[in-house]
Structure 1
Amino acid sequence: MAHDLSGYHRALDLFEGLVAGVPGDGWDAPSPCEGWSARDVAGHVTAGQCLIRALAAGEPERDVGRDPARFVPGDVLMSWRTTRKECAAALTPDALRRPIPFGGLGELPLGDCLGAYILEPLVHAWDLARATGQPSRLDPDLVHHAFATAQVVAAPLRASGRLAAPLAAPRGADEQTRLLAFLGRSTA
């Protein structure tokens, strides 16, 4: 079965464009993620690529949950691009068919999980944009897809303390604003 990874790649492209737009002195800026700098956000998404690469190869999962900045030492853009390239090379047809654990849903093929993974780089693209003063308008199609995913995965993430409580979105808010509020992010 062929997997359509176009949304996944578009979300990574969006994130990479924002990483490329961060000025050299912008990496210490605080992000909307409590306690995280812009570098931590970039490191977290880069760590996600390391995790996907490990899953694709059938290797033990790496500890990507602590000290996210360690995944982007020195030149953040170069670290991101190198890790992204290594991850992409690992996404062979066999790897995309490999069953991996997917929360309370049991096991799913990695390729199917990457469709849901759009949420991660997309929302952190917004975090990075806000932290570094870049435009924070997201791709509406990706937002729509990510919002559907968020509604499925939010409860266990909140229960484990990895996702903030939802905020009330302003009346008449667009879908991006509603998604961000659902994820506990204020656009004000």
Structure 2
Amino acid sequence: MSTTTGTTGLTDPRPVYARAAEQAAALVRTVRTEQLGLPTPCPEFDVRTLLSHVVAGTRRVAVVGEGGDGLALSRFAEDVTDDGWGAAFDEARARAVKAWEADDRMTAAVRAPWGEVPGRAALSGYVMEVVTHTWDLAEALGDRTGLDPELGAFALEAARLTLPDSRPRDAATPFAARHEVPEDADVYTRLAAWTGRDPISRA
């Protein structure tokens, strides 16, 4: 998976982000209209709201990669119809992948929700976001057997670097406090718990 050796901080996150976005896209394409009202592990999101958030977040990734202020964008995509989530996400992820192609984007300072960081760190954080929300969607749909464990491992490392072990839920850190899970839990269970989900109670 890595294009260099070492941890997330030394790995080029661009191919990882592309893989993570494709994993998400494959799952989004399976969503049926009658599933849009299903609950998700995020209490405030049903599937429709989660998809709206994921599309908007991916548009933010693109704007940040293009050098703009992604934080000025809405957290939700309000221009997508119920039959258009797959196409909207595909368009956003293609734009996002293209926006980060240039090598200088990896070292340029960008504004992420958790502060001003080098592009490499920001995109690693966005891997965490899309992989975690892919787990959310898989849980809502009732099947996460196809999730890539390598992407889960990268996202978990990024989460541990980006999110403090204990944090308030506010605009700056929109994740609840982490949950405890067994040390031998699979990587997606550990990722979900670190980002404030309660995967054990859902098991």
TM norm. shorter chain > 0.5: yes
Q: Which residue number corresponds to residue 113 of structure 1?
A: 122
Q: Which residue number corresponds to residue 55 of structure 1?
A: 64
Q: Which residue number corresponds to residue 42 of structure 1?
A: 51
For 1:1-188, list aligned pairs within 5 A. 3=12, 5-61=14-70, 62-65=72-75, 68-70=76-78, 72-74=80-82, 75-93=84-102, 96-97=105-106, 98-102=108-112, 106-108=116-118, 110-155=119-164, 158-161=167-170, 162-170=174-182, 172-187=184-199, 188=203
- Displacement of 1:10 in angstroms is 1.0
Q: Alignment identity in percent? A: 27
Could you tell which deviates more after superposition, 37-46 or 79-88?
A: 79-88
Structure 2, unmatched stretches of 5+, are 5-11
TM-score by length of 2: 0.77
CA distance in structure 1 between the aligned counterparts of 2:88 and 2:13, rounded to whole angstroms: 26
| Partners of 1:126 and 1:137 within 8 A in 2 | no
| Partners of 2:40 and 2:139 within 8 A in 1 | yes
CA distance in structure 2 between the aligned counterparts of 1:104 and 1:16, rounded to whole angstroms: 25
TM-score by length of 1: 0.83
- Displacement of 1:182 in angstroms is 1.9
CA distance in structure 1 between the aligned counterparts of 2:60 and 2:77, rounded to whole angstroms: 15
Q: Secondary structure at the match of 2:163?
A: helix
| Partners of 1:19 and 1:76 within 8 A in 2 | yes
Could you tell which deviates more after superposition, 117-126 or 171-180?
A: 171-180
- Displacement of 1:73 in angstroms is 3.0
One-letter code aligned to 2:187: E
Structure 1, unmatched stretches of 5+, are none
CA distance in structure 2 between the aligned counterparts of 1:154 and 1:10, rounded to whole angstroms: 22
- Displacement of 1:29 in angstroms is 1.1
Q: Secondary structure at the match of 1:70?
A: coil
RMSD after superposition: 2.6
Q: Structure 1 residues 111, 63: closer, same or farther in 2, change over 3 A? A: same
Q: Secondary structure at the match of 1:54?
A: helix
